[in-house]
Amino acid sequence: MKRRVVISGMGVVAPNGSNLDSFTQSIREGKSGIRKIPELEEKGFRCQVGGVPRLEQEQIEYLASLGLDEHSAYLSYALLAGKDAWLDGGLPVPDPESGESDPQSGIILGTGFAGIDLTGNRLVPAVDSGQLRKIRSDLVEQVMLNAPAALLTRILALGNISFCNSNACATGTDAIIMAYEYVTSGKAARILAGGADGASPYYWALFDSMRILAPNHNHEPERASRPMSATACGFVPAAGAAMLMIEDAETALKRGAKIYAEILGGSMNTGGQRQGGSMTAANPHGIESCIRAAMKASGVKPGDIDLISGHLTATKADASEVALWMKSLDLDRKSFPYIQSLKSMTGHLLGASGAIETLAAALQMSGGFIHPSINCEDLHPSVAEIIPRESIPATCLSYSPRHMIKASFGFGDVNACLVLGQFKA
Amino acid sequence: MDSIEKTVIDILKKYTLNPSVWDQYNASFNLTKDLKINSARVVDIILDIEDAYDISISNAEIEQTRSVGQMIALIEKKTS
């Protein structure tokens, strides 16, 4: 019999909350984490706002105790979120001197852009100026893509898979789906899965120069991330990490772990850059196939989906995404469930976006609420043509979604979709 | 304590995460086993020593330097 797989621990470092408690409070209250970033203004970015986590003093001290001189941002966020997810899952952090690693526990931790901040600040200047002695051994642990996963295996004594995936904005959702499939197949009892990306002008510039970041709200940062709004003008770049413990339901129950939600099915695909798809645009047929495959794998009927956590970044793709949800779920205007965009509060966490949005989904399922989507008071007419405005809660609702569906779409025409359900033993 | 030993200890302390490893210190202490220094950091320690004494240490010499005492002896030899 196929193993059941649950989310049994979570940790997050977000622009609007540096830990799980403060993040939960922020998303209930509709609190934005978007702020003015002076460095972006100095460098002449069109978009001068972003979502950057503010770490607590104890988090900064914890990172210092690990002995890395200067952490790249994605590594810091990933280490904190990974450790928090492990502790939230009720598992102890082993003694650093303990003898053996745990062959039943692994990690899949993805990133879109890894340590590009320290690559730009330390590595490139040292090499270009011929000062190779300035490159110290900690730098490789800061910039290699699998560094956060590898450091967490050491801290938590993990002995199963240790892996870093990268798939643009689908990265975080992919990591969770891969962990789910790994645990379902019996290869591991539990896998910490999620994603992390840091804040750096060195890669935010890529998007700013493509003119897909929001340039019109530099004077009002909290209103800058506007998914589904008539005045949406691009996404707001953001940084952070989210890690989820993806565990065999049986071992989670045996341990008495808190269970947030059950993962019922997932799907990953690409549109192959055909039928309107390109490196930067999605093939709509690819998205539809991905959503349909995830639904089929889950065995959930479209009418039983109570809430959609969209990709919804605040670009012109929002309306076509909403239309694709309608089509792929075989629903109509009357039967359409609630839909939300976490990015309205956090901005777009890129390689971590799918992980933090799945984490928010699990929080809502276990906490019995639906968080607001802010900044779409002026609903885009193309969205309003498809769904009623009541489908997009503007304030926090007390409501327990039975099933949720979450999708992420990334550059490269890649898609990932997963279905969650309330867990009943 | 002579000044080379003090300088070496000051450099090593930047790379020891847990201050209590110094409690029972003696010069025969091994860098990785006793001081629990990440083995990847040994090369950083060598770079710091090269800079502090304006000397050059070869890979073969690094491989033969496992304890604090051996490190002090190497510096004494190179600077005498």
**Of the candidates A351, A347, A322, the residue with the CA atom closest to the CA atom of residue A337:** A322
Domain architecture of chain A: domains with CATH: 5-255 (3.40.47.10), 264-421 (3.40.47.10)
Q: What is the mean pLDDT of residues A84-99?
A: 91
Residue with tokens 């050491």: A154
Q: What is the mean pLDDT of residues A213-224?
A: 98
- Under DSSP, the state recorded for A335 is T
Interface test with B, best of A137, A139, A151 (most B CBs within 10 A): A137
Task: Give A310-324 pLDDT, tens digit per residue.
Answer: 999 999 999 999 999
Contact call for A67 and B40, based on CB within 8 A? no
Of A65, A67, A133, nearest to B47 by CB-CB distance is: A133
Is the per-residue pLDDT at A96 higher than 90?
no
B57: which 2 tokens?
A: 């240490």
Of A65, A66, A137, nearest to B44 by CB-CB distance is: A137
Is the per-residue pLDDT at A141 higher than 90?
no
Q: What is the mean pLDDT of residues A314-338?
A: 97
Cβ–Cβ under 8 Å, residues A349 and A207:
no
Number of CB atoms found within 10 A of residue A125's CB = 11
Task: Give A233-288 pLDDT, tens digit per residue.
Answer: 999 999 999 999 999 999 999 999 999 999 999 999 999 999 999 999 999 999 99
In this predicted complex, what is the ipTM?
0.79
**Whole-number Å distance between alpha carbons of B18 and A389:** 57
Number of CB atoms found within 10 A of residue B37's CB = 21
Contact call for B47 and A141, based on CB within 8 A? no
**Whole-number Å distance between alpha carbons of A192 and A180:** 10
Is the per-residue pLDDT at A69 higher than 70?
no
Residue with tokens 């730009």: A120
**More confident call, A294 vs B14:** A294
Residue with tokens 């867990």: A423
Predicted confidence at residue A67, as pLDDT, reads 77
Which residue from B minimizes the CA distance to A64? B17
Is the per-residue pLDDT at B52 higher than 80?
yes
Average pLDDT score over chain A: 96
- Residue A386, classed as helix, strand or coil, is coil
Instruction: Tell which phi-psi region holds residue A280, choosing left (phi > 0), alpha (psi between -120 and 50) or beta.
Output: alpha
Q: Which residues of A are catalytic?
A: 169, 311, 348
A347: which 2 tokens?
A: 């901005």
Identify the bridge partners of residue A369 per DSSP, sorted by sequence position: A398
Domain architecture of chain B: domains with CATH: 3-79 (1.10.1200.10)
Identify the bridge partners of residue A109 per DSSP, sorted by sequence position: A194
**Whole-number Å distance between alpha carbons of A170 and A282:** 12
Predicted confidence at residue A425, as pLDDT, reads 85
Residue A134, chain B, CB below 8 Å: the answer is: no
Shortest Cα–Cα distance, A142 to chain B (Å)? 13
CA atoms in the 13 A half-sphere facing the CB of A136: 17
